[in-house]
């Protein structure tokens, strides 16, 4: 029951996220960019926070070991928020940000569900710390959640060198993809006669071409800085970080013995634990 409820919550959040990015493309374009999402952004932010808390409540019910996992999530979110604060105090050129590497690494080690929570909660916590709360926040939360979730779906090769190469490549991809996704929250509201603006009523291929031109002209160089930063951080710190997180995860390995009963674990815990059940 808990597994199905948790899965429904994740599916609902994914559907809402895609709809939040997509719905401006099918509405009359009457708003200007700085007014975009002024009404729906607070609702989306509240929804994501409630969803994250609901997931944690569902997962933790009746599972003492999950309390330790939640504590680990809280520590990692706090560390990521501090990294975001350092980024604001000591800015570097381009879109480099140190927060995506820990989200990718945590999602890779602990699994997709943990990665989604890590991404969404890290962004809201860091926004509160740095004062970066605005209509863009829920869209950043969705995208960061997808970063962590997708990292949990990556294969786990035995070779550590291959693991880090895979994670570095994933950081490179998401360094570009994160910016490309975030731009969509305001791009439909930038309607003018230029070749890089959204034109309602055009074909989907026209829209893709216009957005590609817009992205290349406005965001590509900035996002390359983020992508390069992700690669450098993962290559430099990925191996020891993955080992440390894996050791923490493996402390929850245990054996349950019983007659006629199987141990019940939630879907988040199932991703984190290596469980051996003898019936």
| The pLDDT of residue 257 is above 90 | no
Beta 254-257 vs 275-278: how paired, if at all? parallel
Number of domains observed in the structure of the chain = 1
Residue 152 vs residues 148, 175, 190, 191, 264: alpha-carbon distances, Å: 7, 17, 35, 37, 22
- Indicate the pLDDT class of residue 202, thresholds 50, 70 and 90: confident
pTM as predicted: 0.83
Mean pLDDT, residues 4-13: 76
- Indicate the pLDDT class of residue 43, thresholds 50, 70 and 90: confident
Mean pLDDT, residues 258-275: 48
| The pLDDT of residue 187 is above 90 | no
- Indicate the pLDDT class of residue 35, thresholds 50, 70 and 90: low
| pLDDT score recorded for residue 28 | 65
Regarding predicted confidence, which is higher, 33 or 39? 39
| The pLDDT of residue 37 is above 70 | no
| The pLDDT of residue 182 is above 60 | yes
pLDDT digits (tens, 9 = 90+) for 60-105: 664 544 677 788 889 999 999 999 988 888 887 778 899 999 999 9
| pLDDT score recorded for residue 263 | 47
| pLDDT score recorded for residue 12 | 82
CB 277 within 8 A of CB 198: no
Per-residue DSSP letters for the chain? -HHHHHHHHHHHHHHHHHHHHHGGGGS---S-GGGTTTTHHHHHHHHHHHHHHHHHHHHHTT-HHHHHHHHHHHHHHHHHHHHHHHHHHS--STT--TTHHHHHHHHHHH-HHHHHHHHHHHHHHHHHHHT--STTHHHHHHHHHHHHHHHTTS---S-HHHHHHHHHHHHHHHHHHHHHHHGGGTGGG--SSSTTS--TT--HHHHHHHHHHHHHHHTHHHHHHHHHHHHHHHHHHHHHHHHHHHHHHHTT-EEEE-SS------HHHHHH--EEEE-
Mean pLDDT, residues 8-29: 81
Percent of all residues in the chain with a pLDDT value above 70, rounded to a whole number:
80
Range of the domain at 156: 2-278
Regarding predicted confidence, which is higher, 68 or 156? 156
| pLDDT score recorded for residue 94 | 79
């Amino acid at each position: 029951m808990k597994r199905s409820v948790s899965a429904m919550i994740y599916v609902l959040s994914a559907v809402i996220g895609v709809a939040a990015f997509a719905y401006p493309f099918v509405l009359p374009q009457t708003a200007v960019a700085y007014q975009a999402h002024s009404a729906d952004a607070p609702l989306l932010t509240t929804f994501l926070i409630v969803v994250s808390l609901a997931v944690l409540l569902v997962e933790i019910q009746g599972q003492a070991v999950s309390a330790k996992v939640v504590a680990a999530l809280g520590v990692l979110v706090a560390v990521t928020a501090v990294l975001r604060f350092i980024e604001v105090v000591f800015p570097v050129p381009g879109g480099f940000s140190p927060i995506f590497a820990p989200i990718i690494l945590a999602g890779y080690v602990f699994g997709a569900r943990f990665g989604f929570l890590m991404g969404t909660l890290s962004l809201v916590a860091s926004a509160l710390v740095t004062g970066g709360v605005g209509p863009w926040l829920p869209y950043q939360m969705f995208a960061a959640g997808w970063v962590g979730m997708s990292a949990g779906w990556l294969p786990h090769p035995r070779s550590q060198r291959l693991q880090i190469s895979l994670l570095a490549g994933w950081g490179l991809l998401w360094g570009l993809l994160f910016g490309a996704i975030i731009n969509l929250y305001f791009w439909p509201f930038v309607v003018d006669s230029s070749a890089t603006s959204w034109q309602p009523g055009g074909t989907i291929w026209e829209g893709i071409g216009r957005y590609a031109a817009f992205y290349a002209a406005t965001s590509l160089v900035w996002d390359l800085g983020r992508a390069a930063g992700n690669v450098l951080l993962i290559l430099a710190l990925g191996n020891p970080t993955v080992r440390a997180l894996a050791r923490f995860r493996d402390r929850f390995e245990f054996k349950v013995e019983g007659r006629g009963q199987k141990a019940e674990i939630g879907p988040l815990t199932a991703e984190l634990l290596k469980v051996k059940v003898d019936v």
